[in-house]
Every structure is written in C-alpha cells, then in structure tokens.
A and B are shown apart, each in its own frame.
Chain A
Amino acid sequence: MNHLQKTRTAAAWMALILVGLTAALTLPGCAGVGVKPWERDILAAPGMQVDPDPLVTALDEHIYFSKEASTGGLGTGGGGCGCN
C-alpha cells in the first residue's frame, strides 16, 4: 500500500468516525448528552473553553508550522509564509 492509499484510507476512517459521532450526538434519541442551560457555569469559565488561549494557540501554530512538516488541525487556518 503506497502513501497515497494510506492517506486515503486514514482519511476515510476519520470521516467515518466523525460521521458516526455527529449522527450519535445530533440524533434526537441521544439529545440527553450534555447539560441543562442552568448547569453551564463551569463550562462558561475562561479556562474551560475548547481553546482557552487563542493567542497562545496562534503563536504556537506559527512556531510549529515553521519547524515541523505537520501543521494545522485546529481549524484556525492560515496562509503560507516563507518561514525558516
């Protein structure tokens, strides 16, 4: 199996997992997962956000983009640069 095939296989698995997760969490029967509106106190705290430090994330993404072959994934995106 060459790298292109491996990539496509991995991508297909990821997509399958995500579709499954999405379906499981959005179907009406599973709507019990989560919290009531009045139970959001902890999840609303700054330190409990999915990305509690967006600037740290942005700066780190730039560093690792410049120093590694892998990049992205956090959904922040970003254009290219001639980073060294």
Chain B
Amino acid sequence: MAATRSSGSAVRGALAAACGLLGVGGARAQATEVQTAVLGYSEPGRVTAFEGIVDASHTLLNGKTLTGHLVFDTLTGASANGAVPTGGIQTFTSPSGESNYQTEAGKTPLDSTFKDTRAALNLGLSTPFDRLTAWGAGVYFSGEHDYTSLGANTSLTRDFNRKNTTLALRASYYGDSISPVGGRPIPFAAMVAPDIAQPRQNGNGTKNTLDLTFGLTQALSRRTIFAVNFTHSRVRGYQTDPYKVLSLVDDVTGSPLDYLYESRPDARNKDMVFATLARHIGGDDVHLSYRYFTDDWGVASHTADFRYRWHAGSDWYLQPHVRYTRQTRADFYRRFLVSGEPLPETASADYRLADMKGWTAGLQYGRRLASGHDLTLRAEYFRQTNSGAGTTTFGDLAGYDLFPAVDAIILQVGYSLDLGVDGRSG
C-alpha cells in the first residue's frame, strides 16, 4: 500500500508539474486517474506484437482537465508480402536491398524481416467555457524507425436539455513522414537481386490527414444512453505500402515471372458513421454498436460489436464480447497481375484491401480490488477470412490457397488507479 501511495503521489506530482508548464496551475489538484494496460497480439506463424499504454488524466478545481496518453509497442515476425504461392521455392529481396529471404513451395510468401518499435504520445487540455460548454486541444507524436507522425486536434462540446444531450465537434490534423527501410520503391518496378542498384525513388514520402467529427450523445432514459459520431477523413500523400509487392504471373501457366512493387492512389476520402447504445438490463450493462464505413477507394464495411457486462458479484464482472465485420475490396486490389495485360494505374495485393470478413470473440474479467483500484483481464480470438471474390485463378494458381485465413490471439491485462481528490486512493 505504501508503494501504491508513493507511486500515486509521484504521478500526481508529475501531472501537476506538467499543468504548471502549460500555465494551468494555481489550483489545487482535484482528481487524478491513471489507467494502464499491456496487450499481447499473436498470429501463429506470423506477427507477434506487444503494446503498453499509460493513460492519465488530472482535473483541477477550476474544471480544467489535462490528459496524457503514452503508447509503446513492438512488432516482430512475418507479414504477407503480397506475392502468390507457387510450386517452387521463391526468393525475395528484403526491403533493405541487402539480403534475401525464401518461401517454400505452396506457402504464402511472408516477409520475416519485420522488426519495429513505436512510441506515441498524446497530450490534451480541456477547458470549460461555462457550465455547459468546453473547449479542448491536444498534440500528438508517434515515431518508429521508418514512420513519424505529428498531429494536433481541437474540440468543442456543448450540453443541452439539462445535460441530457451533448454535441461535439472535433478536428484533427496529422502530418506524416515515411522513410522506408531501403527507400521508397518505384511503383511497379520489378524486384531485383540484393546488392545491386535497387529501384527506389528519392526522398521520404509525406502524407497528411484531416479528420472532422461531429458527435451527438443522448440520455434516452434512466437506463439507456445513445451516441452517434459522423466522421469525414481526408488523406493526401504517400499511402503505398513500400514493403508490399504483386506477383506478375504468366498468362497461361500462372507461374510468377516477376515481383512488382505496389502503388496506391495518393488521395483517399473516407466517411463513417458510428452509433452505440448502452442499456442497463437487470443489473447488467449491454453495449451494442455499429459502424458503416465508405471511401472513394471502393471500400465499404459494416461492423457490429456487442458486449454484455454481467455483474456476477458486488466487486467483479464477466464481459463476453463479439465483433463482426465485413468489407468490400478496394477498386485497385489485385491478387496478382497477368503478363500481357496493360498495367493498371494503381494496384495492391495487400490482403487488408480485399473482400474480407472478420470475427472476434472474447471474454473480459474485471475486479475492484480492496485498494479501490481496478484489475481487468481480457482474452480474445480474432479470425479473418477472404472468399477471393473478384479473382479468377488459372494454371498453377488454381492449386494453391491464395486467400488463407488469418487467426490471432489477443491477451490483455489492465490496471486502473483512481487516485481521488488530492491523490488519496479511493
């Protein structure tokens, strides 16, 4: 307990210092909350990732709230490079252009050279204008060895109807810089052997994103609350995955003749509506949400999510969770390119842009500890399948699974500290 108080005090002190730096000091600490979580994600035979989050908020007596969100993650393992399986061993040049890796006959080509570490920090400040209106602003930084993102956001919220209705407007802008290992490939250039001049473009890629969100939250009754968000996202710049290729196959045999680096459009406009309903039923909490997504790449998706928080005891709960999503492929998605046919303007074999269904099923356990802190454990199973709609196979290609399912296990431990007024646990 002494250690808990000590760490809580340290966190409160650090946040209070940060408040001082931002010029919002002068008031006594009112409340501090810290939430932490560690997540493991594993696709057997493919990617393994670990992610840690620390989320802290500190509310002052004058109503201002400072928030901090720190993320650290690592990724290792293999990721599908886009090429098709064939009857022989395939050899690919690694993104660095300095070595190669091989794929056995009949196997989906996976690039096993990935190893990435990312850190991200989000800082925000919310200031009340009056009893019903608040303004918020934040800054964002994310960095990994081949990708840097800087962002800023601002929001305005206003309550109506005795605070039963809340409207929110939010705008975010991100500027990204992409500097792939080995440089950015020239679109549709053929992969060449290592240690010779690689087909690369000069300079880093840049991308900017503008998100505009309009949100409405409505208390419908003593047991029901509803929220809906409408978001428009405008993305411009380099959106190609520099590590993905397409197989150029023979138009008769289906055997690969070359591996061509992919190319995606440099503009994307996305629109989505997200609605969620929370209902208290017989002592339990039910959350049902739905999202519709559409963009001008041709992707459209429906996603539904259901969580049932069963308050099995006075200080613990079990929460089953089911998620289902279905998406249509991007217009420029091609599982492979065929020799003799004209090259499209843009093309990608990235399975994430294909027709896809995804299922997630999981269980979360939450417990309020004697200290007043909260412990959560979560385990989930995630499966993605692709029917291969829109792709006609021929020759050797017909004998292989071009659209393998992807399975993943997700495990998470979370710990939350409500440090209460002036840092006292409670």
Q: Which residues of A contact B153 (CB under 8 A)?
A: 77
Query: How many residue pairs bridge A and B at CB < 8 Å?
Result: 231
Q: Which residues of B contact A31 (CB under 8 A)?
A: 160-162
| Interface contact B35-A70, CB-CB below 8 Å | no
A1 in contact (CB, < 8 A): no
| Interface contact B162-A75, CB-CB below 8 Å | no
Identify B170's interface contact among A39, A55, A77, CB under 8 A.
A77
5 A-B contacts, Cβ less than 8 Å apart?
A55-B55, A75-B274, A77-B153, A77-B211, A80-B147
| Interface contact B229-A3, CB-CB below 8 Å | no
Complex CA gap A55/B47 in Å reads 22
B309 in contact (CB, < 8 A): yes
State the main secondary structure of chain B at its contact with A: strand
Q: Which residues of A contact B160 (CB under 8 A)?
A: 25-26, 31
From B414, which residue of chain A is reached at the shortest CB distance?
A55
Render A26-49 as a binary contact track against B, CB cut-off 8 A, 1 for contact: 100011011111011111010111
From B321, which residue of chain A is reached at the shortest CB distance?
A56
Residues of B near any A CB (own CB < 8 A): 35-37, 39, 41, 47, 51, 53, 55, 69, 71, 73, 75, 79, 114, 116, 118, 120, 140, 142, 144, 146-147, 149-151, 153, 160-165, 167-168, 170, 172, 174, 176, 178, 180, 207, 209, 211, 213-223, 225, 227-233, 243, 269-274, 276, 278, 280, 285, 287, 291-301, 303, 309, 311, 317, 325, 327, 330-331, 352-353, 356, 358, 364, 376, 378, 382, 384, 406, 408, 410, 412, 414
Count of interface residues, chain A, beta-carbon cutoff 8 Å: 59
| Interface contact A79-B209, CB-CB below 8 Å | yes
| Interface contact B207-A52, CB-CB below 8 Å | no
**What is the distance, in angstroms, from B170's C-beta to the closest C-beta of chain A?**
6
Knowing A7-B271, A35-B219, A80-B207, the reply to whether A72 touches B233 (Cβ < 8 A) is: yes
Best-buried of A10, A36, A83 by chain B (most CB within 10 Å): A83
| Interface contact A3-B331, CB-CB below 8 Å | yes
Knowing A7-B296, A21-B228, A53-B376, the reply to whether A35 touches B221 (Cβ < 8 A) is: yes
| Interface contact B75-A34, CB-CB below 8 Å | no
Knowing A68-B352, A69-B353, the reply to whether A75 touches B221 (Cβ < 8 A) is: no
6 more CB-based (< 8 A) A-B contacts, given A48-B278, A48-B285, A63-B382: A3-B295, A26-B165, A69-B297, A69-B356, A80-B147, A83-B75
